[in-house]
Amino acid sequence: MIVRVATAADEPAILAFMEAIIEERWNRPWAPQEFTPAELEGKLVLVAEENGEAIGFAYGQVFPGGLAHLNVAYVRPENRRQGVAKALTAAFAAGAREQGAQHVSLDVDVSNEVGRMVWQRLGFTEWAHRLSAPVDVIEARAAGAAAGESYASLHVQTDDADGVEAAVAKYLPRLGGSAGRVVGPRNGWVAVYAELVDRDRRARERLASELSNATAAVVCAIGVEHGAVVRYALFERGSIVDEYQSVPEYFRPLPPGDVVALGANPTVVSRLTGAEPARVRAVVRTASSPDELPPAPDLLQQIAVVLGLEGAGRG
């Protein structure tokens, strides 16, 4: 097997390889465009050849400033696991170095676990995530974020309001928050409200974890986000044990398993809060769009009733 610079005679094989790539692994949310030889103009294009037949190819571009980007490295299925991709990548790196490059970047599909392992073995490390969204979704979510309000509360399953207040005073400033408001106990829960809890979900759930550790109590962080989504997280001994989001893919597409994981677990909820599992299943439900559920503030209150939380959200 040899790796060489491609010539015009290789164009039919390269076009066939590109068609195979699209057919085999096109997971991007937009339709592929027709690939033409013009795409290769000015690029570093290499072909792997065995017994006079092309078995794979790679191409990319060298940019000013010492960076080269490897657009594609493809090997026919019957020739994989034979070091062809490694040889193509090494040859591309060598050619890029000759043109002044010091680094090589590439994109890999998040679902391509084998490919990711191959690149990692060759020295590539992850430094960024490329995200995409349909234009109409961005516009709709941006409008919803501007119009919809986010607010939340924490509920600690204890009657020791003084202990909760002391823990809030200790941990809230560490997370960048100002003084919080502690209310209760009501129905066996002490509620916590703070501006940071309203606006920053990560800080909210971090504080919930700290309070669960400090008080050795179950803590529920619950709220409305962007006026459209209800979310809660239940903590026990500082660890999250159940997580719910009324529209699991509201913020970004998720793998199917993650979508399922953002549904309420009636058994866990019942154990931690005393809620009836049947009521949890009936009320704490998910959907693909906010339009398929009650308005988020109403859904929040329905869920709060099931969980036995008074003053959920705004208080």
Q: What would the DSSP string read from start to end of 71-88? A: EEEEE-GGGTTSSHHHHH
Instruction: Calculate mean pLDDT across residues 274-297.
Output: 92
Q: What pLDDT score was predicted for residue 141?
A: 56
Average pLDDT over residues 213-238: 92
Cα 124 from Cα 122, distance rounded (Å): 6
Q: What is the mean pLDDT of the chain?
A: 88
Q: Which CATH number fits domain 2-121: 3.90.1640.10, 3.40.50.620, 3.40.50.280, 3.40.630.30?
A: 3.40.630.30
The rounded distance, in Å, linking the Cα atoms of 280 and 307 is 8
Q: What angle do CA 151, 193, 275 make, to 5 degrees?
A: 80
Tell me the Ramachandran region of residue 176: left when phi exceeds 0, alpha when psi lies from -120 to 50, beta otherwise. left
Confidence of residue 137 (pLDDT cuts 50, 70, 90): low
Reply yes or no on whether the pLDDT at 240 is more than 70. yes
- Banded pLDDT at 139 (limits 50, 70, 90): low
Tens digit of each residue's pLDDT (9 = 90 or more) over 8-62: 999 999 999 988 888 887 777 677 778 888 888 889 999 999 999 999 999 999 9
Q: Is the pLDDT of residue 186 over 80?
A: yes
Q: What is the pLDDT of residue 179?
A: 75
Q: What are phi and psi of 86, to 5 degrees?
A: -60, -45
The answer, yes or no, to whether residue 68 has pLDDT greater than 90, is yes
Q: Would you give the DSSP letter of residue 32?
A: P
Single pTM value for the model:
0.56
What pLDDT band is residue 96 in, cutting at 50, 70 and 90?
very high
Q: 240 has which bridge partners? A: 235
Give the residue extent of every domain in the chain. 2-121, 137-307
Q: What angle do CA 259, 133, 265 make, to 5 degrees?
A: 10
Helix 201-215 to helix 161-171 angle (10° resolution) is: 130
